[in-house]
Structure 1
Amino acid sequence: MHKFSFMLIWEKKIPEFLLFRKNIVNRILFTAAFALVFINIYAPFGVNTWFNVTKLELFLYSSGLILTGILVMVISRIIMFQISRKMRLNYLQYGVWEIAEISIMALVYTSLKIFFLHEKNDLVDDFVNSLQITALVVIIPYIIAALYFSWQDKTRKLESLEQQKDENPAKATKLLPFFDEKGVMRFSMFPSDIFYLEAADNYVTIYFLNKQKVSHYLIRNSLKNLEEYLSEYSFIRCHRSFIVNFEKVKLIRKEKDGLKLEIDAPTEMIIPVSKTYSQGVLDEFVKNG
């Protein structure tokens, strides 16, 4: 199951905000600024000792290297942007692309060191050292930028939903949107058509009525995250792995192993109620009774 979940993550398409032209440009500029400051202030891995230069020379040399790195990133992102117009990369492809981009930059830096500084060291050692420095000064701003773009994207979508709600409250309440753990809306459905939600590892399966048949949709999130959000509707947590639409419960029965909820659906649906949540379910039954 864990292997299956891992493969699902890697095969998922990357979010669109990573391919927005504005975000690509901002990320390259932020990475360049971060690299310039980081190399000259912290001198990672004793880079100033390796290159045997003064601080001023290090600044000038690092500026030249960063400009070269920007050129590599620009070419790489232009190619990625063109490819993404035909097909969207998944996380595995995107990760391989990032590693290749960093490796190419490290190879370019190694070549520049050999041809311009005329230092005759072991080529493999030089490449490994360049790869370490490049990975350090590139991965950190990459992660920061990705988190910021994700936050921007989430904020923009939430504002859009709020605007729709203000403009047309009746329409906004018809569909219930479901978001993944990153805040990206993946699925929306009429609340009255949803039977229950079931958790498995880091995923939640939503079971709903579709053309008089039971269908399901899988999103990456947890019941804990969804529980508070769904509490505004008629949904209630009844088990560690289940949230049910209480409007769909047609029968509550007590058996030897605890309470059971029978769902009003085209096929038989029996949802268990754990002791932890049994009192809450009974209170909800009394309140709606």
Structure 2
Amino acid sequence: MNSKIPAYLTEKNNVIRLILFTAAFALLFINIFKPFGSRDWYKISDLKFFVFASLIVLVGMLVVVISRLIMLAYIRKNAINYWQYGLWVLAEILSMSMFYALFTKFIPEENAGRDFVEIFNDSAFHASLILLLPYAILWLYFSWREKNHMLEKLSQEEQPVEVHKKNLIAFLDEKGELKISIALENLLYVDSADNYATIHYLNKSKLSHFLIRNSLKWMEENMTTDRPLVRCHRSYIVNLDKVKVLRKTKDGIYLELDAMNTPDIPVSKTYYERVMNKFSKYSV
């Protein structure tokens, strides 16, 4: 009970929704159920009774309006716990009950002889229905909407991480420092010589390359998982998404890339099986 109420209960827009919805509910309630014996107060038409009842509801709803304005001012510097919120709602019910009881006692002449305590108890019962039912309905609605909003936010936050992980390749040097990041769709292949690797990629549709100090073995172990990258030779890692032809000749197997001025990439016997397994996976 000492925990704070959800923030959506005190958001300005939700407070406005609560006031409007409660007013509409109260208007329907008093015209449909005609509490306090109100329909017998005056011998007037249904239309005039509707207008008269609406004015009573609007005046009674001033209790909620004033209460919620005070609450908005209060929460700027203070938090509200569940028990405090419960007492606040109870105060609204009692205040509205007192207004309706006084009105019922002294305005219609037919009620002049009724006991005030009886009138107040009747008013408290109907005021509870007028406020608690719409409050409960809106609480459930706000809670449902907040959970949906959180789920949408989580899905939106997770999506960029997944896209970054799969589609943007970060190349680190042997010290672990980022040297270049290349979109997967632009990466062609990587070849190595000694302790250096050359990254071949497309930059604005032009063939480009970047030299980095790192081993092909490290790249194979850390960059090819869940990506269409595969080591096909002791000196090459290739992007299978860029392979347009796998050609088998008497001299061996070669991969032709879908880019001009790129050499055919050889596939050695050592890496043949893993290339074929991954090629079948990413060529579907």
Task: Calculate the TM-score normalised by the size of structure 2.
Answer: 0.53
> In structure 2, how many angstroms separate the alpha carbons of the residues matched to 1:123 and 1:140?
25
Determine the structure 1 residue equivalent to 2:121: 128
Determine the structure 1 residue equivalent to 2:142: 149
Determine the structure 2 residue equivalent to 1:73: 64
CA shift in 2, pair 1:167/1:113, >3 Å:
same
> In structure 1, how many angstroms separate the alpha carbons of the residues matched to 2:124 and 2:43?
20
Is 2:96 aligned against 1:105?
yes
Determine the structure 2 residue equivalent to 1:161: 154
1:57-108 Cα distance to aligned partner (Å, 9 max, x none): 5423321221112211111001111111111111101001101101101101
Q: Which runs of 5+ in 2 are unaligned?
A: 166-284
Determine the structure 1 residue equivalent to 2:27: 36
> In structure 1, how many angstroms separate the alpha carbons of the residues matched to 2:155 and 2:42?
57
CA shift in 2, pair 1:122/1:21, >3 Å:
same
1:29-56 Cα distance to aligned partner (Å, 9 max, x none): 001111111221233575535x465544
CA shift in 2, pair 1:171/1:41, >3 Å:
farther
> In structure 1, how many angstroms separate the alpha carbons of the residues matched to 2:56 and 2:36?
16
Contact 2:97–2:123 (Cα < 8 Å) also in 1: yes
CA shift in 2, pair 1:128/1:164, >3 Å:
same
Is 2:16 aligned against 1:16?
no
> In structure 1, how many angstroms separate the alpha carbons of the residues matched to 2:36 and 2:101?
15
Contact 1:165–1:171 (Cα < 8 Å) also in 2: no
CA shift in 2, pair 1:53/1:162, >3 Å:
farther
> In structure 2, how many angstroms separate the alpha carbons of the residues matched to 1:22 and 1:134?
24
SS in 1 for 2:89: helix
Is 2:96 aligned against 1:96?
no
- How many residue pairs align between the two structures? 162
Q: How does 1:1-289 map to 2 (within 5 A)?
A: 10-44=1-35, 47-49=38-40, 51=41, 54=44, 55-118=46-109, 119-120=111-112, 121-169=114-162
Instruction: Percent identity, please.
Output: 41
> In structure 2, how many angstroms separate the alpha carbons of the residues matched to 1:53 and 1:139?
31
Q: C-alpha root-mean-square deviation of aligned residues, in Å? A: 2.2
1:118-167 Cα distance to aligned partner (Å, 9 max, x none): 43121111111111111112211110011111111111111111110112
Give the letter aligned to residue 42 of structure 1: F
Contact 1:102–1:134 (Cα < 8 Å) also in 2: yes
> In structure 1, how many angstroms separate the alpha carbons of the residues matched to 2:105 and 2:7?
39
> In structure 2, how many angstroms separate the alpha carbons of the residues matched to 1:43 and 1:171?
63
Contact 2:98–2:123 (Cα < 8 Å) also in 1: yes
CA shift in 2, pair 1:162/1:139, >3 Å:
same
Q: Which runs of 5+ in 1 are unaligned?
A: 1-9, 173-289
* Offset, 1:23: 0.3
Contact 1:24–1:77 (Cα < 8 Å) also in 2: yes
Contact 1:11–1:92 (Cα < 8 Å) also in 2: yes
1:182-237 Cα distance to aligned partner (Å, 9 max, x none): xxxxxxxxxxxxxxxxxxxxxxxxxxxxxxxxxxxxxxxxxxxxxxxxxxxxxxxx
